[in-house]
Structures are given as structure tokens and as C-alpha cells.
Chain A
Amino acid sequence: MNMSAVFKPHETFRDDFSYRNSPHAIRRFPLPFPEDSYMYSVNIEPHLPGPPGSVVQFAFDVDEHYVAECRERAIVLAAEPLRYQALPHMLSSQWDCLELIMESLARDYPAHFSLSKQGNRWHWINRPLGIDQHFTFGDTTTLPREPLDYITRQAQGDFVVMDQREGDLWAEAGMVTTQADWSMDFDLGMTFKEWHGPVPLAHELQVFDRALKFLLNLRLGQPVRRLNWTMTIHPRLDTSPENYPKWGPDRAAVTAQNAGDLVHLRVELQGLWRLPRSNAIVFGIRCYLISLRELATVPKWARRVHRVLRDLHPALVDYKGLTRYRDAAVAWLAPFDDGAPTTAGTAPE
């Protein structure tokens, strides 16, 4: 098990924002900055098992926030059911995703999940959420919901499934409730480059041409991953365009005094898997949130994040929505940066 912490089922990502990271969760936080400055790169690497205890030890990381995140997803879906969508031709990829997630969780966290199979008759147990389900693999009528809907309600992070045809990838199914200001409802049916249209600079760097070419050749059994990041005010998972009026104004409340508690680094651990029956690709976007105050408990990280934010390219400041509060965050972090060099890599030291 990579959880020395127990689940914290009552923490919240809205209203009173009671979400916090334990010291253990802080130490394993996936800092996306291997250097003191940041620019885009095609930073894709094989999704191989990482060090014990790290967020990449297993295919899908289940951490202390698991139960609370699943409950947050249910709250979002109850209000806005269209956060989950799947076009009809994506059904085989839905079963592929269900298989991938169930097999991974049961293999990697046997104390929490178990899966037994007799032919197509499967039995799934999710102990943290109190679920015990018998069903027939491939028969949608034997599950309470569509397969992708069913299984991603029991997983942390968003999932987008991309069909591969015409030399492109089409986002045609997905569960998206913990997103950094984009919408499955808006992007459904888009091609890879359409979906990434708003990203500045990267098109000129041909990042998406190379990434698409790479992904079209993604192999079964050889998933890949990358980290991406932005910032969010409060530990709010659902920063969707649909709910912009609820979270957008928060950004005006940040000052150099309160930035340590309000401003959160938001890191996405993105994983990509080729799916076997459908030949589709599932794109997992797992969100990790950490306040600047929590981050600053690691001196190296405080120095590094201060420098990255201070020197960030203006186009990225705008695109990531940091314009209103970047200066306040930099000011809050400045006292932690004594100018000493940082060691290479992201380890906390």
C-alpha cells in the first residue's frame, strides 16, 4: 500500500473548503518543476511503476482524498449530469476503461478493492465506497449506469476517451468534473488540435503536432504520462467554465497576506493508455492540489515555485488565469527564497 494516511471522507472542495494535505501527502506531492524556470515541452515519459509511496507507484494513485473526491464528483453530477457524456460508438471503449480501472485498483490496492471473474461474470467490491456489484462484462443492462460513468464515479481524476480515426484523435466520451476551466460538454466530438486550440505558444512550438503523432502510435501495454499545472484559488476541484461565476471572482480576493492559504498549485498527472478492444485512447487527468503554505513547508519547493512564478512567460500567466494574483503569490513566497541554489529534480530534499 502506498497510503500511510487513512481516507478523510469528510473533507470538502467547496463551501468551507476543509481539504488539507497531511505531511505525508505533502512529501509525495508531484511538483511539476524540475528546474527553477518553466516552459512547455513534450514532457511525455513511460508510465512505469515509480518509487514506493510516490504518486506513480501504481497505474492509478489512490490517496487520502479518495472518498472525498468521489463524493465531490457525485455532487457535481447531481447538479450537472452532462459532465459525463459518451457518444454511442464509444461503448466498447467504455468497457475497456472499466476493465483497466478495475483490474488496476484490485491488483494495486487489494485491501480496498477486489475483482473476481468467471468468464464474463464479474464481481467487483469497492470497500471504501461500500460497493458490491455482480455484473456481466459487455452487458450494459447489468450495471446501474453506463460502464464509463459507473467506474469513473469510483475513481479520482477526470477521464476523456479519444477514438482514433482519420489519423486523428476525437474526444468522444468523458467524465470531467475536476477540470481547470475546460468543458467536456463543449469539447465533445473535437479533434486533438481543436481541443487544444486555446493553448498559447505550444502550437508555434509544434508541441501538438509531435504529441499527436506520438499518441497515434501509442502501444497496448505501454502507457505514458506527463505533468501539467496551473493554479486555483481555494482547494476547488470543479473550476469548470459552466461554474465560472462561482469561482472566477475568488481571484480578486487574493492579497500578499492571504495568498499562502488561498492560492493552490494545481498539478495534473496525465496518463494515456491504449485500449485493447476499441483501439481508443483513454486520457486520465488526475488533479492534485496544494496550498502555498503547505508547499512552503518544503524549503526547496518554496524557493523553486517562487522563481518559476516570478519569471513565468506573460502569455502563460494569462492562459493559466494567474494575471490577477500572480504578484500576490510571488510576494507571499518571496520571504522563503534566500537566493540559495536548488538541487536538480523535484525531490523535496
Chain B
Amino acid sequence: MNDAQTIAVEVIGIEQVTPLIKHFKLAPIGGGTLPVFSGGSHIIVVMQGAARVHRNPYSLLGSPKELDTYEIGVRRMEESRGGSHFMHDTIEVGSRLEIAHPVNLFGLDKIARKHLLIAGGIGITPFLGQLEDLHGGGVPYELHYSVRSAEHAAFLERLRRREGERLHMYYDSEGLFIPFQTLLANQPLGTHVYVCGPAGMIQHVIDTAHACGWPDSHIHWEQFSAPPVGDAFEVFLARSKISVHVPPDRSLLESIEAAGVEVPYLCRGGVCGFCHTRVLELEGKLLHNDHFLSDADKAKAKSIMPCVSRAHCRRLVLDL
């Protein structure tokens, strides 16, 4: 995609829902409705900062049936390169933003016999949209939601009101943790598990599910990586015949875009594989941070996801 295909929105509501998470309501400028979406979808929010443009993915957490507004939850990241800080510190009611059409990389499986949803912290956000799809659907589901402490439990009131006994809360502060082993070992055949949260939690759910005999097709997870900061490096774009400098606080993709070269992308979080780019020459090593390439492909160093990955190199030539 590129920014010509974005939708102009205005921030019409902001609520601080936990010490770290703000809840934003976005409405289309000039009225009307926003595109229909399915639960688990995210949008890319394009933020025009003073020095640079931020493009961050955020899950849609409102009802796909109410399209006057979109809702997103933004956690203030400690090591932010600016996007979440920009949303928290600069955006106010009345601010204008650009958003891309929704994309769903975390959809519910429509032939599942049961849905087991596992959320950690800000990882609750994609489930809020999915729950709207599950209501009245006749397929059993349960939500297990783990937070540091009660004050960090974003959207808890909404969840309690709508989910009742399907909601299972776990507070680290009270020594309550999701019993992954028991939970995953005791599900009916045909159950699908969905997990979103910290990297360690996702990996633990995947490993535990595998150990319990779950097939890969029944394990779903989503984790948007923020592009990590790193050392500066240079990249040469073979087809464009230009050299691009990648500074420490800017991603490879952002740097290439800033140089005027368009790279197709969808998620900007290392998930979808859309920005997959061929590496033509490399002296040094690639620092892969995506969830798309297999370990074997990462080791081959023949391709890179410029949205989140970097390089530590003397020379890097990309097929762009």
C-alpha cells in the first residue's frame, strides 16, 4: 500500500484506561462511515511527526457493526522510537490522523468447534474485535486475560459486562497466572487457541500446545514487533541505484521510504511478509527481527523484512 490509499480521520475521544494505555476513538473527517472489518483486524496509523512520519499498526477493538468510529488502544512503549509517545503526548481530541484500510492477519477460524483466547496486557486489543464476532455465534469460547495488576487491566469493565463467566482474569500481583499446561491439555478436539501478548507468553503457549499434541493449524498468534533501534548502517538499492543511510532510530523500511523509494507493505510489524526483499550482496550480518521468515531462511541471509529487520554490515545491496 501507500499513503494515497489512506482515510483521513479525526480523534474524537481519548481516555486513559490504565497508567500505560490510552484508548482513542477515530471518526472519518466529514462524517460518514468507515470500512466494515472483521474481528482481529488492525489498521496502520500514519502520524505526521515534526521530524518524521510514524506508521504503527494498532488492532481495532470496537464492534465491526458500529462504523461511525474506529477504536484503538495504544500502550506507551518504554523503548519507543516515537510512535506510541507521539500518540500519548501529542495527539489530543481534534487531532487529525491518516489510517489505512483494515487488514486481518489474526482472524478467527470459521470451522473451529471452540475458541480459546489468551491475552497478556495490551495483547487484549485484537480480542475485543474478535469477541464482537463471537457474540451470538453459537460456538463456545473463553477468554483468559493476564495483567500485572488490577490497575493495568484495560477494558476490564467492558469485558466483565459482556463476557460474564467466559472471562477468566489473572493478576501477577496476586500470584495468579494462567495455568497454560492444564488449560491446553484439557480442550475438546477442534478447539483453536489464539494468543496475543508479550513474546515470552506467545512462545510459551506455542511450546505448551505443541507438547500437548496440538496441530500448528489450531494455534494462532499475533505479535507486532516495533522496529528496534540499532546501529546506523548504509544500504545500496540496486534497481534505484541509490545509497540510503539508516540511522539508529529509524527502520530500514522508513529510511528507504524517506529516500523516495516505495516498498509494498501491509503490517509494518514483521508478521505478513509483504515487504519481503531480496538481498543481493552482503558483507556482514542481517539482524532479523521478523516472525515471517523461517530460521533456515534467516540463516541463508538471502532476504530481509525491512519493516523490522536491520543489518550490521560493511555492505548491503537490496533488490529495490
List A residues at the B interface (Cβ < 8 Å).
89-90, 96, 163-166, 213, 217, 219-222, 276-279
B298 at the interface (CB under 8 A from A): no
Question: Which residue of the partner chain, among B5, B36, B110, B272, contacts A165 with CB atoms under 8 Å?
Answer: B110
Q: Tell whether, in the assembled complex, residue A221 and residue B38 are in contact, meaning their CB atoms are under 8 Å apart.
A: no
Q: Tell whether, in the assembled complex, residue B107 and residue A279 are in contact, meaning their CB atoms are under 8 Å apart.
A: yes
B1 at the interface (CB under 8 A from A): yes
Whether A278 contacts B103 in the complex (CB less than 8 A), given A165-B110, A219-B1, comes out as no
Q: Tell whether, in the assembled complex, residue B104 and residue A279 are in contact, meaning their CB atoms are under 8 Å apart.
A: yes
Q: Which residues of A contact B109 (CB under 8 A)?
A: 165-166
Q: Which residues of A contact B35 (CB under 8 A)?
A: 220-221, 276
Q: Tell whether, in the assembled complex, residue B101 and residue A165 are in contact, meaning their CB atoms are under 8 Å apart.
A: no
Which 8 A-B pairs give the minimum distances between C-beta atoms?
A276-B36, A89-B110, A279-B38, A166-B217, A220-B101, A279-B107, A279-B104, A221-B101
B305 at the interface (CB under 8 A from A): no
Min Cβ gap B67→A in Å is 10
Q: Which chain A residue has the least Cβ–Cβ distance from B111?
A: A89
* Cα–Cα distance between A279 and B64 once the two chains are bound (Å): 12
* Cα–Cα distance between A164 and B111 once the two chains are bound (Å): 11
- Kindly list 6 other residue pairs between chains A and B, CB separation below 8 angstroms, not including A163-B110, A220-B37, A278-B38: A89-B110, A276-B35, A277-B64, A278-B110, A279-B104, A279-B107
Q: Which residues of B contact A279 (CB under 8 A)?
A: 38, 41, 104, 107
Q: Which of B36, B64, B273 has the most CB of A within 10 A?
A: B36
| Interchain residue pairs with CB less than 8 A apart (9) | A165-B217, A219-B1, A220-B37, A220-B101, A222-B5, A276-B38, A276-B102, A277-B37, A277-B38
* Cα–Cα distance between A169 and B273 once the two chains are bound (Å): 17
* Cα–Cα distance between A220 and B5 once the two chains are bound (Å): 11
Whether A217 contacts B266 in the complex (CB less than 8 A), given A164-B107, A276-B38, A278-B38, comes out as yes
Q: Which residues of A contact B110 (CB under 8 A)?
A: 89-90, 163, 165, 278
Question: Which residue of the partner chain, among A90, A163, A277, contacts B36 with CB atoms under 8 Å?
Answer: A277
Whether A219 contacts B101 in the complex (CB less than 8 A), given A276-B38, A278-B38, comes out as yes
B274 at the interface (CB under 8 A from A): yes
* Cα–Cα distance between A220 and B35 once the two chains are bound (Å): 9
Question: Which residue of the partner chain, among A96, A221, A278, contacts B5 with CB atoms under 8 Å?
Answer: A221
* Cα–Cα distance between A276 and B107 once the two chains are bound (Å): 11
Min Cβ gap B85→A in Å is 28
Q: Which residues of A contact B104 (CB under 8 A)?
A: 279
Contact with A along B140-154 (1 / 0, CB 8 A): 000000000000000
Which positions 171-196 of chain B face chain A at CB distance < 8 Å?
A: none
Question: Which residue of the partner chain, among B103, B111, B273, B274, contacts A220 with CB atoms under 8 Å?
Answer: B103
Min Cβ gap B237→A in Å is 22
List B residues at the A interface (Cβ < 8 Å).
1, 5, 35-38, 41, 64, 101-104, 107, 109-111, 217, 266, 272-274
Q: Which residues of B contact A96 (CB under 8 A)?
A: 36
* Cα–Cα distance between A213 and B274 once the two chains are bound (Å): 9
Q: Which chain B residue has the least Cβ–Cβ distance from A220?
A: B101
Q: Which residues of A contact B103 (CB under 8 A)?
A: 219-220
Min Cβ gap A208→B in Å is 17
Q: Which residues of B contact A276 (CB under 8 A)?
A: 35-38, 64, 102
Q: Which of A96, A166, A222 has the most CB of B within 10 A?
A: A166
Q: Which residues of A contact B37 (CB under 8 A)?
A: 220, 276-277
Q: Which chain B residue has the least Cβ–Cβ distance from A163?
A: B110
Min Cβ gap A249→B in Å is 41
* Cα–Cα distance between A96 and B35 once the two chains are bound (Å): 12
* Cα–Cα distance between A331 and B289 once the two chains are bound (Å): 60
Min Cβ gap A171→B in Å is 14
Q: Which chain B residue has the least Cβ–Cβ distance from A276?
A: B36
Q: Which residues of B contact A219 (CB under 8 A)?
A: 1, 101, 103, 266
* Cα–Cα distance between A165 and B104 once the two chains are bound (Å): 11
Q: Which residues of A contact B107 (CB under 8 A)?
A: 164-165, 279
* Cα–Cα distance between A220 and B64 once the two chains are bound (Å): 14
Q: Which chain A residue has the least Cβ–Cβ distance from B100?
A: A219
Q: Tell whether, in the assembled complex, residue B274 and residue A217 are in contact, meaning their CB atoms are under 8 Å apart.
A: yes
* Cα–Cα distance between A166 and B112 once the two chains are bound (Å): 12
* Cα–Cα distance between A217 and B41 once the two chains are bound (Å): 13
Q: Which residues of A contact B5 (CB under 8 A)?
A: 221-222
Q: Which residues of B contact A164 (CB under 8 A)?
A: 107
Q: Which chain B residue has the least Cβ–Cβ distance from A168?
A: B217
Min Cβ gap A5→B in Å is 35
Q: Which chain A residue has the least Cβ–Cβ distance from B264?
A: A217
* Cα–Cα distance between A163 and B112 once the two chains are bound (Å): 13
Q: Which residues of A contact B64 (CB under 8 A)?
A: 276-277
Min Cβ gap A165→B in Å is 5
* Cα–Cα distance between A278 and B64 once the two chains are bound (Å): 11
Q: Which residues of B contact A217 (CB under 8 A)?
A: 266, 272-274
* Cα–Cα distance between A89 and B111 once the two chains are bound (Å): 7
* Cα–Cα distance between A163 and B108 once the two chains are bound (Å): 11
* Cα–Cα distance between A276 and B111 once the two chains are bound (Å): 18
* Cα–Cα distance between A163 and B217 once the two chains are bound (Å): 14
Q: Which residues of B contact A221 (CB under 8 A)?
A: 5, 35, 101
Q: Which residues of B contact A89 (CB under 8 A)?
A: 110-111
Q: Which residues of A contact B274 (CB under 8 A)?
A: 217
* Cα–Cα distance between A90 and B36 once the two chains are bound (Å): 17
Min Cβ gap A212→B in Å is 12
Q: Which residues of A contact B36 (CB under 8 A)?
A: 96, 276-277
* Cα–Cα distance between A217 and B103 once the two chains are bound (Å): 8
* Cα–Cα distance between A164 and B107 once the two chains are bound (Å): 9
Q: Which residues of B contact A163 (CB under 8 A)?
A: 110
Q: Which chain A residue has the least Cβ–Cβ distance from B41?
A: A279
Min Cβ gap B136→A in Å is 11
